[in-house]
Structure 1
Amino acid sequence: MPADRSKARPTTRSNPGPAAAARNRAALLAAAHGIFAESGTAAPLSAIARRAGVGQGSLYRHFPDRLALVAAVVEENVDELETASGRDAASLPDLLGLVTRHAVESVGVVDLLVEDRPGRMLALRDRVEAALAAHLDAALASGRVPAGTTTADVMLGVEMVSGALTRRPSSERPALAARAWSLLGIAVTLPR
C-alpha cells in the first residue's frame, strides 16, 4: 500500500531571492580577501566559492572572470581609502599606511591596481591617486614627506613598496613595508 503523502512535509525549499544574492556576493568578497591574502590572486576560484559557502555557479554569476573578482576586491579597498581620505584627521602617511596594509594582505591586488590597464582597474588606480593627492600639500607643508615630492612620486612609491613585498612571507611584509617607506623618506604605520 502506498504511503499517504497528504501528511508529508513539503520538500520544496523557499527561494530567498535577492537577499541571498547580496549575501552571496558579500560572502564571496570576504572569502576572496582572505584567500588572496593567503595565496595571492592566482588562487583557485573554487577555493573562494568553497570558503564563501556557495557554488561556483554563484561565483560566476557575480564575477564572470578572475579580473572581475579582483577588481571588486580592489574596489572595496579603494572605497575604504576614500572614506579614510575624507576624514579631517587623515594624513598622507596614514593613507599610505592603509594602501600598504592592503598590499601586505595581498600583493597581487596592488600589482593589478598599479598596472596600466584600461577600463575598471585604471579607473580604480586614478581614484587611489586622487585620494592620496588630496593630502600631498599638507604632507609637504608639515615635512612628513620629502620636499619636492609629487603625486607621481607617491604612486611610484606605492608600486615600489608593493613590489618589494612580492615573494615574501606574509609575516615579514609589515616590517619590510615600513622599512621601504622609511628609505623613501616617509614614516608610514600600517593600521590594524
Structure 2
Amino acid sequence: MTQPLLPDVRRPANGGPKAAARNRAALIVAAREIYAAQGLDAPLSAIARRAGVGQGVLYRHFPDRDALATAVLEENVRQIEQAAAAEDMSFADILGVLTWHLKESAAFLGLLHMRGSVDHSEALAHALALSDRVERALRERLPDGHRLGAANDLMLAVAMVSGAAGGPEREARERRAMAAWRLLGVEVGTVRPFDA
C-alpha cells in the first residue's frame, strides 16, 4: 500500500545557541514563578509549559529537579551581587532587591535558613556558599555605623525577615517582609528585581 504524500512542511529553523540560552533563561523565570506559587515540589511539566518549551528541553538544560532549583538560586544570588556592584544603588535599594527575591522565591527563602542545618550534603555545601555570597555582597555595601554592622546582625536580620516572608501569597509575603524590616528599624528601597 502506498503512503499518501504529506505536504512539504518545514520544521522551524533551529535557533542554535541563542535559542538554547533563551530557553534556559525562560525556564529559570518560569521556575521562579511556579515555585513561588506552588513550592519546590511543583511539577516540572508546569515549569516547561510556563516557559513555552517541551519537557525534553527542560531536561536538556536541567537533568533533575535539584539542578533547576540550584539555577534559580544562582540567578537570585547573581542579581543581588549585581545590585550590590551597581554604583547608583544605595544599601536600601539593594535590600529592596533582596526583599523582591524573598517575595518571589520559596527556594531562596529556604537557602537563607540553611545555616543552622547540621547535614553536610553537597547540596547544603552549595547552599551555604550561595548564602555566603549574599552576605559578602550585602556587607560590601553596608554603610559604616549601620545598625546591622555587628558581626552576625546582618544575616540574622535577613533570616528573620525571610522567616516573616513565608506564606503562599506574594503580596502578603512582601507586606510581612516590609513589616519585619520596619520592626528592625532598617530602611528598604523599592521592592523590585534588579535590571542590569
> Which range, TM-score by smaller chain?
0.7 to 0.9
Q: 1:107 to 1:150 in 2, by over 3 A?
A: farther
Who is 2:119 aligned against? none
Is the 1:178–1:187 contact (alpha carbons within 8 Å) kept by the matching residues of 2?
no
* Aligned-partner Cα distance in 1 for 2:4–2:45: 42
In structure 2, what is the equivalent of residue 48 of structure 1? 47
Q: Does 1:87 align with 2:86?
A: yes
Alignment match, 2:188: 188
Which residue number corresponds to residue 139 of structure 2?
133
Instruction: State the Cα deviation string for residues 39-90 of structure 1 (Å, max 9, x = none).
Output: 2222211100111122222212211222221221121122211111112243
The aligned residue for residue 171 of structure 1 is 171
The answer for the alignment partner of 2:107 in structure 1 is 108
Does residue 17 of structure 1 match 2:16? yes
CA contact (8 A) 1:107 1:162 kept: no
1:123 alignment partner in structure 2 = 129
Q: Distance in 1 between matches of 2:86 and 2:55?
A: 38
Q: Tell me the distance in 2 between the aligned counterparts of 1:4 and 1:114.
A: 62
Partner of 1:76: 75
Q: Is the 8 A contact 2:111 2:131 kept in 1?
A: no
Q: Which has the higher contact order (CA 8 A, sep 6+)?
A: 2
Letter in 1 for 2:99: T
Which residue is 1:37 aligned to? 36
Check 1:111–1:11 CA distance in 2 against 1; reply closer, same or farther (3 A cut).
same
Aligned to 1:67, what secondary structure does the other structure show?
A: helix
Question: Is the CA contact 2:44–2:65 (under 8 Å) kept in the aligned structure 1?
Answer: yes
Task: Give unpaired runs (5+ residues) of structure 1.
Answer: none
Q: Which amino acid aligns with 1:183?
A: L
TM-score in terms of structure 2 length: 0.80
How far does residue 3 in structure 1 lie from its aligned partner after superposition? 8.6
The secondary structure found in structure 2 opposite 1:41 is coil
| Residues 165-174 or 42-51, more deviating | 165-174
Classify 1:16/1:92 alpha carbon distance in 2 versus 1 (closer, same or farther; 3 Å).
closer
* Residues in 2 aligned to 1:39 and 1:112: alpha-carbon distance in whole angstroms: 17
Residue 120 of structure 2 is matched in structure 1 by none
Please provide the CA RMSD for this pair. 2.7
Partner SS for 1:172: helix
Size of the aligned set, in residue pairs, is 185
Partner of 2:66: 67
